[in-house]
């Protein structure tokens, strides 16, 4: 059977100074440190769609289908680590994590990965320009990631052991990212996982997703793609409502009324089905105004009255929705 190959982003993490720290602490203390490290990193990796292929003591080897998600995950991890370290009094117990990302073809076999892309990522860990608390990426990752969301600084070509040609690498500075701080709610959720003997990762992931609502943390590529599809569906519904209304208007000799009715129904369908990137109260208001205006204009040539009645009903629906949210 031919091995499966894929183009993936390889993310590798490790703790700077782990060997020296292990000499100073007991075996149990080191186990606790690694558990804390794992519980901080795993929920973030899973949230951004990463697959943890293996753990190697103080290190993770992960794969991502999206270069953008891999680098964004790295940024969030480092922000969490920075917050964690600022609250850790003992210097030796601080987790100075180094993260490197490379993108390329890999071979998948028996729950493991092989290939030059993995080897390059592993060699990048040893470069002096990527100490603990930094993020290093290869040129292949840089070219594939969304550079509107993430800023990176070119370091230049670096000779890597065992590779015939230099690899161009980049640094991802935390202080220049659009996302420059981690929401306290997110860190509190991850911190709970650190202090638990057992962690329900599914519940934690769900809570993290809820905590990200309303923050500046960009959505993952998969979420952005899904929202674009929903937005496209919303435009289809709006076009359907418009043309249906105009068509009925021609048949019944009242283009204005039925155009308004069609647009009003389309707005309400978009809101109810969430076929929009901007689901808000304005969608209800516009839908009810068009619907009310169209119906009353058709029945009794009272366009203004219909618009006002529709607006009033729109406010009523907004009140009901707000009341339900408060009751929850």
Boundaries of every domain in the chain: 4-217, 222-327
For residue 156, pLDDT over 90 is answered with: yes
- For 238, 255, 263, the CA distances from 235, given in Å and listed in that order, are 5, 21, 11
pLDDT at site 98 = 92
CA 39 from chain centre, in angstroms, equals 19
Taking the alpha carbons at both ends of the chain, their separation in whole angstroms is 54
Gap between the Cα atoms of 103 and 99, Å rounded: 14
* pTM for the predicted model, two decimal places: 0.60
306-314: average pLDDT: 74
Assess whether pLDDT exceeds 90 at residue 196.
Answer: no
CATH of domain 4-217: 3.30.70.1230
Q: Identify which of 174, 101, 177 has the alpha carbon closest to the alpha carbon of residue 138.
A: 101
Give yes or no for residue 153 having a pLDDT over 90: yes
DSSP SS3 for 174: helix
Q: Sorting pLDDT into bands at 50, 70 and 90, what band is 74?
A: very high
- Model confidence pLDDT, tens digit, residues 112-135: 888 999 999 999 988 888 888 899
């Amino acid at each position: 059977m031919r091995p499966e190959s894929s183009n993936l982003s390889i993310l590798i993490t490790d703790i700077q100074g782990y060997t020296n720290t292990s000499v100073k602490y007991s075996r149990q203390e080191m186990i606790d440190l690694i558990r804390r490290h794992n519980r901080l990193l795993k929920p973030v990796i899973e949230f951004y769609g990463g697959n943890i292929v293996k753990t190697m003591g103080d290190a993770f080897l992960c794969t991502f289908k999206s270069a953008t998600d891999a680098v964004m995950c790295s940024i969030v991890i480092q922000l969490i680590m920075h917050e964690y370290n600022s609250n850790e009094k003992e210097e030796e117990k601080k987790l100075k994590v180094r993260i490197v990302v490379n993108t390329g073809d890999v071979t998948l076999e028996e729950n493991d990965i092989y290939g030059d892309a993995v080897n390059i990522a592993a060699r990048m860990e040893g470069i002096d320009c990527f100490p603990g608390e930094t993020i290093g990426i290869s040129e292949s990752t840089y070219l594939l990631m969304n550079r509107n969301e993430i800023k990176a600084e070119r370091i230049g070509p670096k000779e890597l052991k065992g590779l015939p040609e230099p690899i161009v690498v980049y640094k991802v500075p935390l202080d220049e990212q659009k996302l420059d701080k981690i929401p306290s709610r997110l860190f509190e959720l991850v911190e709970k996982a650190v202090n638990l003997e057992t962690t329900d990762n599914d519940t934690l992931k769900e809570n993290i997703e809820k905590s990200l609502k309303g923050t500046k943390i960009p959505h993952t590529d998969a979420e952005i793609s899904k929202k674009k599809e929903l937005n496209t569906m919303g435009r289809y519904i709006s076009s359907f409502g418009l043309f249906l209304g105009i068509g009925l208007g021609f048949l019944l000799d009242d283009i204005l009324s039925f155009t308004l009715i069609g647009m009003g129904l389309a707005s309400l369908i978009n809101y109810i089905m969430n076929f929009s990137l901007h689901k808000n109260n304005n969608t209800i208001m516009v839908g009810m105004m068009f619907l009310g205006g169209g119906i009353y204009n058709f029945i009794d040539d009272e366009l203004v009255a219909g618009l006002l009645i529709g607006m009033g009903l729109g406010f009523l629906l907004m009140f009901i929705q707000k009341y339900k949210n408060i009751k929850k």
